[in-house]
Amino acid sequence: MKAVVVNPPNAGVEVRDVPSEPPSQGKVLIRTRLNGLCGTDRGIVSGKLTFSRPPLGYNYLILGHETLGEVVEGNGRLRKGDLVVPVVRRGCGSCLNCNLGRQDFCETGNFTEIGIRGAHGTMREEFLDEERYLVKVPNSLGELGVLLEPLSNVVKALNEVEYVQRRMWWRCGDSTYSCMTAAVLGSGPIGLLFSLALKTMGFNVIVANRRPPSEVESEIVEGIDAKFVNTSEKVDIRPDLLVDTSGHPSAFIPVLPKMKKNGALILFGTTGNESYGMTAEDVTTLVENNILIVGSVNASKSDFEAGVNFLLNWKAKYANLLEKLITKRVKVEEAPDVLTRKLPGEIKTVIEWK
Ligand code: BGC
Ligand code: ZN
């Protein structure tokens, strides 16, 4: 069958035939409908993501961790025709967090991630997976299900903040977040999904980038009643919650002194490549203001399930605004091209399998 194949840690990508997996008892057979592309995929293709590696015994890796699939042969609770999204990370098998289904908090680092490290991904015509790794998506969500994997990471990070912020009373007088501002640095798919989720939680949301918004970005930001700010101009952001999706320390460090007391900073982006230091004064600010910093990666199956509810809610509330996040659909033959460059005006590019 056709697959998008890489050879980490070497750069490069090709579409070629790979052998089908032998049928395995108890596994679910899934036909791939859509794959989303993200910075992680492009990092692997460019050879810059050094932790990427093929599965044991293979000299290649099938790419793909953002998936919407359709069950071909049911098993257990999954029926033929059901839409599913596989979780990305598979536990190390030895630590407590992995054994309790929280492989996103693996303690040993010996986990695998489909399409990223040590396990084949889903950029192929079909794949087999265990039911426990599959999240069922209501058919009414349709293609929007392809947004679930990136969204799951966002849901996890926000859960963590809400959990740790219980260190005090971190709400407004009316018990909501209506008096609080969340600033999201970066307006890519992750930045916009954070903005949508924060809006739903009740925050006032600012989406920031170092340039003016694209047309689609404006439509989405206005559509959800958030505000776009161009940080290359003079702006005064004073957030209670700061979310960095850029991976650029020069984007979030200058905002730290402006953060509200008892606030939180989520570090999510990893693709920056600059060296930009923190001063002792910044450290004092963080200490004196009780600022929480949380780095967050990956997500548990429960975060995917919570993400389904967000998607259903947004589909109902914002009509076709969500579809605008998918800015381009390509055939698998075009994958090598779109994996080696960021497209103009891109939010989410997806590969369509027919
Ligand atoms: C994926 C995560 C993964 C991370 C690091 C992201 O693109 O969405 O599931 O843990 O890359 O490999
Ligand atoms: Zn991704």
Residue 106 to residue 113: CA distance in whole angstroms: 12
| Atom in ligand 1 nearest the alpha carbon of residue 149 | 8
Tell me how far CA of residue 27 lies from CA of 23, 76, 125, 180, in angstroms.
8, 10, 16, 46
Distance 219 CA to ligand 2 centre (A): 23
C-beta of 90 in contact with ligand 1 (< 6 A): no
Answer yes or no: is pLDDT of 24 > 90. no
Give the distance, in angstroms, between the CA of residue 165 and the centroid of all CA atoms in the same chain: 22
| Atom in ligand 1 nearest the alpha carbon of residue 49 | 12
Answer yes or no: is pLDDT of 198 > 80. yes
Size (the chain), residues? 354
pLDDT average, residue stretch 212-234 = 97
Query: Residue 76 has what pLDDT?
Result: 81
Q: Where are the beta strands (DSSP E) in the chain?
A: 2-6, 13-17, 27-36, 61-62, 66-73, 83-86, 89-90, 112-114, 118-119, 126-130, 134-137, 181-185, 204-209, 227-230, 241-244, 264-267, 292-295, 326-331, 348-352
C-beta of 65 in contact with ligand 1 (< 6 A): yes
Q: Which residue has the higher pLDDT, 354 or 154?
A: 154
Residue 170 to residue 263: CA distance in whole angstroms: 9
Tell me how far CA of residue 324 lies from CA of 218, 344, 350, in angstroms.
11, 15, 12
Query: Residue 192 has what pLDDT?
Result: 98
Up-side HSE of residue 313: CA atoms within 13 Å toward CB? 12
Residue 217 to residue 88: CA distance in whole angstroms: 27
Residues with CB under 5 A from ligand 2 (ion): 38, 40, 66
Query: Residue 26 has what pLDDT?
Result: 86
Q: Which residue has the higher pLDDT, 139 or 22?
A: 139
pLDDT tier at 312 (50, 70, 90 boundaries)? very high
Query: Residue 75 has what pLDDT?
Result: 77
Say which residue the tokens 């426990």 belong to: 132
Query: Residue 164 has what pLDDT?
Result: 98
Query: Residue 22 has what pLDDT?
Result: 86
Distance 288 CA to ligand 2 centre (A): 36
Distance 39 CA to ligand 2 centre (A): 7
Residue nearest atom 9 of ligand 1, based on CA coordinates? 298
Query: Residue 253 has what pLDDT?
Result: 96
Residue 128 to residue 300: CA distance in whole angstroms: 20
pLDDT average, residue stretch 30-49 = 97
Helix 148-164 × helix 189-201 angle, to 10°: 50
Q: How many CB atoms lie within 10 A of CB 52?
A: 24
Answer yes or no: is pLDDT of 271 > 80. no
